[in-house]
């Protein structure tokens, strides 16, 4: 099997009673090992969906049904390692984000080893999203594929519809467990096994058929009482205390500031409740964060030891951030919103693209491996790189940009929603997405230009006779 260095992401899930407008929200930073790996935003129409699928990395072959749904997708631009679709919303308003790389332990590997010729992150959206009509059905389809083909890596996968959010984690080569996220709750999931308390007999859980028996047969439960899947199947390593747990801690600190935790705690809760209703802007802030207002902020005033101690959520290896929102209280034709931004998340904004379209704007669709500021991926990456050279110098530009841009996007969205509710044809959604793309591209270009103009006056390479 071709070796692909794994990336590492951060996931946020928000139930419909925890969000400000009654939407379900699943979101993730799609991070890679390398700083740059161009991505596209596309729509896969039924005619374009493969019927005979073969993975590039593992070579696994999967025969697919002949009735796929249309879906949005965020594939790699360079297909050396396969498509890697990352996330999308299908034409039945079901969303999927795949994957969050997670952890395991040697006890699991001794029972159910990984399958070199099995499924992996490269494959999952393509094999599942076009064929599901609810979030729970997504769990069931993926579970059956894992049982049949196995997997060569541990992953967490999110599914949502307008009513439910489900989170599935793979266990060993063929096993898995999933939990429905309570409507009034949120989750921040880093690169570790995240599900903790688990009741095999509850209505809000699903698992591979023999998972409960597996725990008993091989004496896997280290706890005297209860079933905690993170304790049983996950890890509690030194790396978790600096790479994973602090990210969950910061997200929980932001959404639930009155609860005190240690950033290195191995038992930070999976299911959490915020002290307010959560907005898209809140989710974007956390997915862009670097431990702001703590001594661990890489751009802050802490010691060098503190600033480099923990892995931040926002990082140079963010290739995209997607926030998949399935709205209630609007017509089904406009329920699915695929919020999207490219590049490191410190100097970009998410754009609320309508999912019910058959094509996407060129600025978001056509990026390839050649640097080109006409493509949003490269424009966003360039802005983030310049911002990183002197964060304090440029952050006010970023803040003004984000506030004004998000307001402009929401105005386009509000006008489009109103038109649809007043009987306009859904064909206007494609035009609305073009407006959103043009607005985003214009504002991102202006941000970069303002930063270049202002920053040029502060270059070290300067000389003035009056100095």
Q: Are strands 186-189 and 10-14 parallel, antiparallel or unpaired?
A: antiparallel
Residue 125 and residue 142: Cα distance in Å, rounded?
10
Domain ranges of the chain: 8-369
H-helix or E-strand spanning residue 142:
helix 135-149
In this prediction, residue 1 has a pLDDT band, given cuts at 50, 70 and 90, of: very low
pLDDT beyond 70 at 5: no
Tell me how many degrees the CA angle 182-183-188 measures, rounded to the nearest 5: 65
First to last CA, the chain: 61
DSSP three-state, residue 397: helix
- Burial category of 141 from C-beta neighbours within 10 Å (exposed 0-12, middle 13-18, buried 19 and up): middle
Residue 123 and residue 151: Cα distance in Å, rounded?
10
Residue 178 and residue 329: Cα distance in Å, rounded?
28
If you average pLDDT over residues 320-334, what whole number do you get? 98
33-64: pLDDT as tens digits: 888 999 999 999 999 999 999 999 999 999 99
Where residue 400 falls (left for φ over 0; alpha for ψ -120 to 50; beta otherwise) is alpha
171-188: pLDDT as tens digits: 999 999 999 999 999 999
pTM: 0.97
More confident residue, 460 or 87: 87
The catalytic site residues sit at 9
8-369 fold:
Penicillin V Acylase; Chain A (3.60.60)
Q: Residue length, the chain?
A: 467
Residue 415 and residue 216: Cα distance in Å, rounded?
57
Residue 200 and residue 358: Cα distance in Å, rounded?
41
pLDDT beyond 80 at 239: yes
The H helix count followed by the E strand count for the chain is 13, 16
6-35: pLDDT as tens digits: 568 999 999 999 999 999 999 999 998 888
């Amino acid at each position: 099997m071709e070796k692909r260095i794994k990336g590492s992401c951060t996931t946020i899930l928000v139930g419909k009673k925890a969000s400000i407008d009654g939407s379900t929200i699943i979101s993730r930073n799609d991070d890679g090992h390398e700083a740059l790996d161009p991505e596209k935003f596309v729509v896969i129409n039924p005619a374009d969906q493969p019927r005979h699928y073969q993975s590039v990395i593992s070579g696994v072959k999967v025969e697919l049904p002949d009735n796929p749904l249309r879906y949005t997708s965020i594939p790699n631009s360079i297909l050396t390692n396969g498509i890697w679709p990352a996330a999308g919303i299908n034409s039945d308003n079901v969303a999927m984000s795949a994957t969050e790389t997670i952890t395991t332990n040697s006890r699991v590997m001794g029972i159910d080893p990984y399958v070199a010729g099995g499924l992996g992150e490269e494959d999952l959206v393509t094999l599942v999203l076009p064929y599901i009509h609810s979030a729970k059905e997504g769990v069931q389809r993926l579970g059956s594929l894992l049982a049949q083909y196995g997997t060569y890596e541990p992953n967490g996968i999110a599914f949502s519809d307008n009513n439910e959010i489900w989170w599935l984690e793979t266990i060993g080569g063929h096993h898995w467990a999933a939990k429905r996220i309570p409507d009034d709750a949120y989750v921040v999931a880093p690169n570790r096994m995240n599900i903790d308390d688990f009741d095999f007999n509850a209505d809000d859980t699903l698992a591979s058929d023999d998972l409960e028996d597996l725990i008993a047969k091989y004496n896997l439960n280290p706890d005297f009482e209860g079933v905690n899947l993170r304790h049983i199947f996950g890890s509690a390593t030194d790396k978790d205390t600096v790479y994973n747990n602090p990210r969950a801690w910061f997200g929980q600190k932001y959404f639930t500031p009155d609860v005190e935790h240690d950033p290195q705690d191995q038992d930070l809760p999976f299911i959490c409740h915020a002290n307010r209703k959560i907005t898209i802007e809140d989710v974007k802030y956390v997915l862009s964060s670097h431990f702001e207002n703590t001594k661990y902020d890489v751009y802050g005033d802490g010691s060098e030891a503190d600033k480099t101690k923990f892995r931040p959520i926002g990082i140079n290896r963010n290739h995209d951030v997607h926030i998949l929102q399935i709205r209630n209280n609007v017509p089904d034709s406009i329920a699915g919103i695929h919020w999207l931004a490219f590049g490191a998340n410190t100097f970009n904004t998410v754009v609320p693209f309508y999912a019910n379209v058959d094509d996407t704007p060129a600025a978001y669709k056509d990026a390839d491996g050649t640097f080109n500021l006409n493509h949003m991926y490269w424009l966003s990456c360039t802005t983030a790189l310049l911002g990183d050279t002197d964060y304090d110098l440029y952050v006010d530009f970023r803040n003004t940009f984000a506030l004004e841009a998000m307001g402009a996007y929401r105005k386009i969205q509000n006008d489009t929603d109103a038109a649809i509710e007043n009987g306009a044809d859904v064909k206007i959604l494609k035009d609305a997405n073009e407006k959103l793309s043009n607005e985003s591209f214009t504002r991102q270009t202006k941000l970069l230009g303002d930063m270049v103009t202002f920053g040029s006056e502060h270059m070290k390479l300067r000389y003035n006779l009056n100095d």
